[in-house]
A and B are shown apart, each in its own frame.
Chain A
Amino acid sequence: MKKYIKFWGEYVLGELGIALLVTAIYCVFGAMFGRMNWNGSALASILAVMPSYFLFSALFVHCILTISMFRMYTPVLLSMGQTRRSALWQQLGVNAVSMALILLAGWMLLVGAPKIFSYHMLFGENFGLLAGIELLLGGFSIFMGTLVVRFGNKLGILVGMLLGAIFGGTSVAAIDLVKGDINAMQTWVSVDVSMNVNVIFAVIGVAAYLVFGILAVRMTRKIEAKL
């Protein structure tokens, strides 16, 4: 058990590291395209935009790596004497820990970030909504990952394109958010944000995550190991 924890622990830390790297790249682009408020401290400005950038980029990295993890590790684990059940639960566990760490880090960044832009307040007050969306997409990537394991690379390419389109489209929408246009944010999420919506989205996110997890278990009951 100890060596499993060490192995997967390194994997999770690696994923968080990549997410932070992508966040840093986002910050650089943010600075280049005038998304920072340089009137105040530069560090405060970067910290101000970081939570939203982190939540977005970490989710993107997490979705791509989840599919890649299932595609790569499931057959390898089976070929090394693991049962399907064990291989899948290990990966689901890793995925859940990774997702929890992303949400925790995102929340800590939101709480600690200087509130320079008005939309930060909006983000901070609606963390349940954001977490729900993150869980929904995280769960979806689990299901897609197992679909790719079962049905092969062509489906993987399609899923990659789909995720690219989702995140690309969201990123275009997010440009308005970064400008601090709350109306655009409300249009984007298409809901009148309130505490109830936070709870509803969080519950939907958790439920979707669990449902996708169960579907993944069913999907891999009889898969073949093909290295």
Chain B
Amino acid sequence: MELTGKEIRKSYGKKEVLCGIDLTLEEHKIYGLIGRNGAGKTTLLSVLTAQSPLTSGSVTLDGQTVWENKKALSHLCFAREISQMAGSGIAAVKAKDYLKIAKTFCPHWNQEMADRLTGQFHLDVKKRIGKLSKGMVSMLTIIVGLASKADITFLDEPTSGLDVIAREKFYQLLMEEYTETNRTFVISTHIIEEAEDIFEDVIILDEGKILRNENTQELLERSFHVSGLAEEVDAACEGLTVYHEETIGRSKGVTVVLEDGQQIMPGHEVKVQKLNLQKLFVALCEKDDEA
């Protein structure tokens, strides 16, 4: 099962939030969707699941248009953040009633799993959503996402507000589900460091455009922080695209992502270090700020 977005554009008034995104989500993978606040992550997930209309472009599931297609939508679940504001309507609903709605309308719902997760997270289902803590609301969306058993499941900031134990529990549950089934997960998060090992592929979104969409480990193996005397660093990185320059006196540090056939020039006195995903993300996205 493959979800494909072609030339996805989404505008609100004159503001273009998604600027011609091409994306393919393959079967049985965990994708990490990362980006700064306002980068368009939630909007992208919304249009991929037809919860928000496209301005232009297309989204298809195995060649079938997703928009208003009940069959295609039955394979997708977008466990989105729930607003706890009083006027949102859903805030007045009890957690157990929200789960009841999910049980009724999610076509592949697994009640046994929902009950088990509710117990594991110690979620107080008798409380109204507006009265739950932020972490508890995240647990509720996680339960809906996992128990939906949808082939492609999108989780928007699932760990937001969760304490470290609950986050670990979530990652463990996610990996169990991933290994036992053929499901694909797309997870947007700001807590990159601890989710890095979970993401098979990473999609880095910035200002409505995809900066990177590739295998996480392969990307990290090609990403380096190069530091040393400024002239040595410049010489070592000649011909490479340099991100996130930091200069202190005569010393300089840069981030480079090597493309096919590229290498850091040997024979220069520079220190080359591998990067983790969070540092790479900062380097890639801060470049735009500096520009």
| Chain A contacts to B: CB under 8 angstroms | 3-4, 6-7, 68, 71-73, 75-86, 153, 156, 222, 224-227
Contact = CB atoms under 8 A, between A and B. Distances in A.
A153 B87 CA distance: 6
A80 B105 contact: yes
Nearest to A224: B52
A73 B106 CA distance: 14
B46 A71 contact: no
B104 A4 contact: yes
Contacts of B81: 227
B90 interface: yes
Contacts of A72: 89-90, 92-93
Interface stretch (B68-76, B189-197, B268-276): B68-76
A154 to B, nearest CB: 9
B88 interface: yes
B73 A82 contact: yes
B239 interface: no
**3 closest residue pairs by CB, A with B:** A72-B89, A225-B51, A153-B87
B101 interface: yes
A73 to B, nearest CB: 8
A3 B111 CA distance: 14
Given A7-B104, A222-B53, A225-B51, A79 B80 contact: yes
Main secondary structure of the interface of A (DSSP, over half): helix
B69 to A, nearest CB: 7
Contacts of A7: 100-101, 104
B83 interface: yes
B77 A80 contact: yes
Given A78-B51, A81-B73, A227 B80 contact: yes
B77 A84 contact: no
B49 to A, nearest CB: 8
Given A83-B73, A227-B82, 9 more contacts: A7-B100, A72-B93, A81-B74, A85-B68, A153-B88, A224-B51, A224-B52, A225-B51, A227-B90
Interface in B88-121: 88-90, 92-93, 98, 100-107
Contacts of A68: 89
B187 interface: no
Contacts of B78: 79
B38 to A, nearest CB: 16
Contacts of B101: 7, 73, 76-77, 80
Contacts of A80: 77, 101-102, 105-106, 144, 148
Contacts of B69: 83
Interface in B37-59: 46, 50-53
Nearest to A225: B51
Nearest to A156: B87
B106 A81 contact: yes
Contact of A82 (B89, B92, B105): B105
Given A83-B73, A86-B70, A76 B90 contact: yes
21 contacts: A72-B92, A72-B93, A73-B101, A75-B90, A76-B101, A79-B78, A80-B102, A80-B144, A80-B148, A81-B73, A81-B107, A83-B68, A83-B69, A85-B68, A153-B88, A156-B87, A225-B46, A225-B51, A225-B52, A225-B80, A227-B88
B77 A81 contact: yes
B18 interface: no
Contacts of A84: 68
B150 interface: yes
A6 B101 CA distance: 11
A106 B183 CA distance: 52
Contacts of B76: 81
A7 to B, nearest CB: 4
A21 to B, nearest CB: 18
B51 to A, nearest CB: 4
Contacts of A77: 101, 105
A155 to B, nearest CB: 11
A83 B52 contact: no
A4 to B, nearest CB: 7
A166 to B, nearest CB: 22
A75 B74 CA distance: 16
A3 B53 contact: no
A77 B92 CA distance: 16
Nearest to A78: B51
